[in-house]
């Protein structure tokens, strides 16, 4: 006869749910009559997610388990941003701005704008959707670049001597405040510079493009030298009955209110665990 023992509650999985907003590094702006960089890919379970996609699925995590976390750096001039990662979720770095002559913007979470004179706007990452396409550089001898895509809107095409505006980012309120992130960088213009998109996108400039905002994942503005993209961020919201350990190599902080803790991790690579 089979004898059943007493089963300890400790043998059951100690799972709990975690909301997140994960933003990758923005793409760098292109150099010399160039397009703006795309905003970093933005994936979120709260309010909105990049590119008008369906909200992401909330993570079910276990206590006493290490989860990899990486905060993506912004791309240097003419370079795409770096992916941000937490557990099974990867947000893709923004695409670089296309450089003169006729270079297309780079593919990314949001894509870079095209370089003058006729560079095509880059194409956003398709699966999962995390942002939008870059704007094209129009023909006509104007030497102006397209705007980089943002998490909330496509980058604008250049028009005459005006660089294309970067696409706007999107707002989430996972921290308790509505904050817009992952805007695209503006393109270089010969008579007027493309504005950066809301959410940290840098403005275009005939000299050095404005950099995207740190920890918002904004794309850099196009310029004689492209502006750097802004770094990304990982934000986690979980029940305040759990305690987070942000491991060596990572920089972060926590705040607790209304029965939840929000952890904001702003730099580095390392492990995160919960107890």
> For the segment 106-156, what is each residue's pLDDT rounded down to a tens digit?
999 999 999 999 999 999 999 999 999 999 998 776 899 999 999 999 999
Q: Does the residue 267 lie in any domain? A: no
> For the segment 40-53, what is each residue's pLDDT rounded down to a tens digit?
999 999 999 999 99
For 197-242, the DSSP string reads PTTTPPPP-SSBPPPPPTTTTPPPPPBSBPPPPPP-EEEEEEETTS
CB atoms within 10 A of CB 104: 25
> For the segment 87-96, what is each residue's pLDDT rounded down to a tens digit?
999 999 999 9
Is the predicted pLDDT of residue 8 greater than 60, yes or no?
Answer: no
> For the segment 142-183, what is each residue's pLDDT rounded down to a tens digit?
899 999 999 999 999 999 899 999 999 999 999 999 999 999
C-beta separation of 219 from 38 below 8 A? yes
When divided into structural domains, the chain yields a total of 1
Q: CA nearest 61: which of 119, 17, 120, 106?
A: 17
What is the arithmetic mean of pLDDT over 261-272? 98
Cβ-in-10-Å burial (0-12, 13-18, 19+) of 74 comes to buried
Domain span at residue 204 reads 21-256
Is the predicted pLDDT of residue 230 greater than 50, yes or no?
Answer: yes
Which residue has tokens 């023909």?
Answer: 139
Task: Give the model's confidence band at 14: pLDDT under 50 very low, under 70 low, under 90 confident, else very high.
Answer: confident
Average pLDDT, whole number, for the chain? 94
Q: What is the pLDDT of residue 13?
A: 54
Higher pLDDT, 14 or 261: 261
User: Considering the entire predicted model, what is its pTM?
Assistant: 0.94
C-beta separation of 59 from 87 below 8 A? yes
Q: What is the pLDDT of residue 2?
A: 35
């Amino acid at each position: 006869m089979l004898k059943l023992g007493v089963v300890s509650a400790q043998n059951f999985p100690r799972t709990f749910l975690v909301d997140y907003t994960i933003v990758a590094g923005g793409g760098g702006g292109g150099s010399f009559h160039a397009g703006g960089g795309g905003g970093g890919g933005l994936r979120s379970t709260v309010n909105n997610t990049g590119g008008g996609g369906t909200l992401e699925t909330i993570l079910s995590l276990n206590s006493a388990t290490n989860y990899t976390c990486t905060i993506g750096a912004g791309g240097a001039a003419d370079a795409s941003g770096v992916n941000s990662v937490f557990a099974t979720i990867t947000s893709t770095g923004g695409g670089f701005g296309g450089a003169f002559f006729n270079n297309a913007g780079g593919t990314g979470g949001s894509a870079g704008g095209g370089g003058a004179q006729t560079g095509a706007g880059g194409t956003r990452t398709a699966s999962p959707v995390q942002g939008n396409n870059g704007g094209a550089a129009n023909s006509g001898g104007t030497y102006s670049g397209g705007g980089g895509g943002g998490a909330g809107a496509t980058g604008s095409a250049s028009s005459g001597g005006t660089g294309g505006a970067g696409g706007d980012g999107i707002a989430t309120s996972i921290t308790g405040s509505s904050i817009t992130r992952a805007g695209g960088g503006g393109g270089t213009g010969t008579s007027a510079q493309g504005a950066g998109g809301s959410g940290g996108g840098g403005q275009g400039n005939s000299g050095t493009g404005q950099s995207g905002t740190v920890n918002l994942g904004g794309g850099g503005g196009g310029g004689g030298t492209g502006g750097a993209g802004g770094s990304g961020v990982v934000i986690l919201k979980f029940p305040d009955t759990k305690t987070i350990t942000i491991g060596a190599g990572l920089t972060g902080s926590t705040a607790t209110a209304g029965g939840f803790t929000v952890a904001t991790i702003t730099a580095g690579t390392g492990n995160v665990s919960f107890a």
